Structures are given as C-alpha cells and as structure tokens.
C-alpha cells in the first residue's frame, strides 16, 4: 500500500464520521466526505473537509465521483437500512464494489455492529459465529460476508452501542421499561471508536474482522440508574426476566493496534 498517500474517504458522513474527520484533519490527512444531501445534516463540517454529494444506490451511482480521486482508504460508515428511503446496504456495497476497480482505493474499512451476534450468551469474540436475530443484524452479516468474498483488502470493525456527545440511549429509555436489567452493557464511546479507526488507518497491513467494545461491562440496571442519577432524571422502570448475560471481547483489536481505551469506565 502507498504509505505516502494520506487521502481518506468517508462514505456516510454522520455523527461518527464528523468526529472522525475532525481528528483526521488534525493529523494532516486529506479527508473526502460524502453525503446524499449536505443541506440535510445536523453535523457541523470541520474546517478543511472536502465535501462531495454522492448517491450510491441499487445498480447505479450518481453525483460527484471525484470523491474517489486519490482516496487510498475508504471508510464505509453507513447504516444497514433506512425505513423512509428503503435503503439497502448490501445492494449499495455491490454497486460500490463494481465501481472501485476504477479508483485508487486500496483498502476498505467497514463499520459493522455487534448485533450480528444476536442473543448468544457468554463471552463472545471474533471466533463466535454470527447468529443475528434482527433484520439489521442479518443485513450486516450479509455485508460482512460479501466484503470478505471480494479481492480488496478490508477491515471490518464490529462496534458496540455508540455513546458520546449528544448521543445516549437513556434519552429514549427513560419513559420505557428497560429490558434485561441483569445483563451487561456492551458500549463504546465515540472517542474510542474514532481512535481505533485512526489506528487501523495507520496500520495499513491490518486486515480482518475485529470487535470494538469498551472493556467496562457494568450491569444494565447499574449503568442506567447511574446515568439517570447523573442527569437528574426520575427513577427508571425495568422489566423482570431471566438475564441474557453476554460480554463482547475486544482483545483482538487492542492487541493488534496496541490500544488502551480512553473511556474505560462507563459508570463515570
């Protein structure tokens, strides 16, 4: 891989992509970011970001294809589906990969999710087979399989539940009954997700599938009660059922890139 090239492409510029782009720009990378509509975004654009309007659909791609010029590593930070538009990530990947031989892209970084493990219990790592129990989990599993079948080098990062600035599930859960209170939290803070993605970009020979989850795994009841207290919210409600106990292990990625989590105590 050409180590002198520092142009990074981000396909799907949202909450995580915006933070990642800002960190990359601080490291003097050239960052190309694409969205289908830049006017419809709540994320501020970091200074120096090169913005492109690009639509990748089923069997066709339209928009500013100069997004791919000099882009040696391409991050795909797209959701598995969108209810309003009928967006299908697997179809998008097939369209994208058909075009990639015309570009300078040498490696793909794809953000997947630990939802591919479904409701399996115990300590789960990358050797644990995928067993999704949701449509999004199934779609991501299919996308991972497709990426592995292609010739282009890749890294798949299976992220846990993302938390960080302006994003926390307590906001949606405070008026609901929270399930599985005796199960464990498998989250990752935006700061660590960004740091890990940058470390992967810098380690250009790295390839494979990795989990990205904070090593702190408090029980769900303890965690959400602490977060509610921290925010001055009223007492929460929890369901009462046998616990689904699972811990997602991320030792493979921390060993591969020599990384120590910055947010390693989720109860703080």
User: pLDDT tens digit string along 239-266?
Assistant: 998 999 999 999 999 999 999 999 998 8
Band (pLDDT 50/70/90 cuts) for residue 59 is: confident
Residue 4 has pLDDT above 50, yes or no: no
Q: How many CA atoms lie within 13 A of 186 on its CB side?
A: 26
Confidence grade of residue 222 (pLDDT, cut at 50, 70, 90): very high
Separation in Å, CA 139 to CA 49, 116, 143 = 30, 9, 6
- Alpha helices (H) in 112-246, listed in sequence order: 135-149, 170-173, 190-202, 220-230
Tokens at 151, concatenated: 């010739």
pLDDT category of residue 153 using cuts at 50, 70 and 90? very high
Res. 99: pLDDT tops 50: yes
Would you say 161 and 188 are in contact if contact means Cβ atoms under 8 Å apart? yes
Of 49-58, 93-102, 136-145, 256-265, the poorest mean pLDDT is in 49-58
Model confidence at 214: pLDDT above 80: yes
Instruction: Identify the bridge partners of residue 159 per DSSP, sorted by sequence position.
Output: 113, 212
Counted domains in the chain: 1
Region 69-97 average pLDDT = 88
Determine, yes or no, domain membership for 178.
Answer: no
Rounded average pLDDT over 202-221: 97
Q: What is the pLDDT of residue 41?
A: 61
Confidence of residue 170 (pLDDT cuts 50, 70, 90): confident
- Range of the structural domain that residue 16 is part of: 7-162+188-213+246-257
Q: How far apart are CA 180 and CA 157, in angstroms?
A: 25
Position 171 in a domain = no
Per-residue pLDDT, 83: 65
Please state the rounded mean pLDDT for residues 81-102. 86
Is 228 part of a structural domain of the chain? no
Question: Of all residues in the chain, what percent carry a pLDDT higher than 70?
Answer: 94
What whole-number distance in Å separates Cα of residue 52 and Cα of residue 34? Answer: 5
User: Average pLDDT of the chain?
Assistant: 92
Task: Report yes or no on 117 lying in a domain.
Answer: yes
Residue 167 sits at the vertex; the CA angle it makes with 45 and 169, to the nearest 5 degrees, is: 160
- 173 is a domain residue: no
pLDDT of 40 reads: 65
Gap between the Cα atoms of 91 and 32, Å rounded: 22
Q: Are 126 and 210 in contact (CB under 8 A)?
A: yes
Retrieve residue 125's tokens: 């790592």
pTM, rounded to two decimals = 0.94
Whether residue 66 is contained in a domain is answered as yes
Report the CATH number that the domain containing residue 72 is assigned in CATH.
Answer: 3.40.50.720
With contact defined as beta carbons under 8 Å apart, do 214 and 261 qualify? Answer: yes
Residues 106-117: pLDDT tens digits? 999 999 999 999
Kindly tell me if the per-residue pLDDT of 1 is higher than 50: no
pLDDT-derived band at 43 (thresholds 50, 70, 90) equals low
Confidence of residue 44 (pLDDT cuts 50, 70, 90): low
């Amino acid at each position: 891989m050409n180590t002198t090239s520092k142009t990074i492409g981000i396909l799907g510029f949202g909450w995580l992509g915006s933070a990642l782009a800002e960190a990359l720009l601080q490291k003097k990378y050239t960052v190309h970011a694409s969205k289908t509509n830049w006017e419809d975004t709540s994320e501020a654009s970091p200074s120096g970001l090169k913005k492109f309007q690009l639509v990748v659909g089923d069997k066709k791609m339209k928009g500013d294809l100069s997004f791919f010029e000099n882009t040696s590593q391409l991050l795909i930070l797209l959701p598995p589906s969108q209810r309003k538009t009928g967006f299908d990530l697997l179809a998008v990947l097939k369209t994208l990969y058909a075009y990639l031989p015309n570009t300078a892209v040498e490696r793909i970084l794809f953000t997947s999710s630990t939802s591919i493990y479904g409701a399996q219990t115990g300590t789960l790592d990358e050797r644990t087979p995928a067993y999704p129990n949701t449509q999004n989990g199934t779609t991501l599993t299919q996308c991972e399989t497709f990426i592995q079948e292609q010739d282009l080098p890749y890294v798949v990062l299976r992220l846990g539940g993302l938390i960080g600035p302006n994003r926390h599930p307590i906001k949606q859960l405070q008026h609901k009954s929270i399930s599985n209170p005796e199960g464990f939290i498998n989250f990752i803070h935006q700061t660590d997700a960004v740091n890990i993605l940058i470390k992967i970009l810098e380690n250009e020979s790295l390839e494979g599938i990795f989990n990205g989850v904070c090593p702190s795994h408090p029980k769900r009841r303890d965690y959400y009660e602490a977060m509610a207290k921290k925010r001055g919210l009223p007492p929460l409600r929890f369901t009462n059922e046998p616990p689904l106990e699972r811990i997602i292990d991320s030792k493979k990625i921390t060993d591969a890139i020599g990384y120590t989590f910055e947010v390693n105590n989720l109860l703080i």
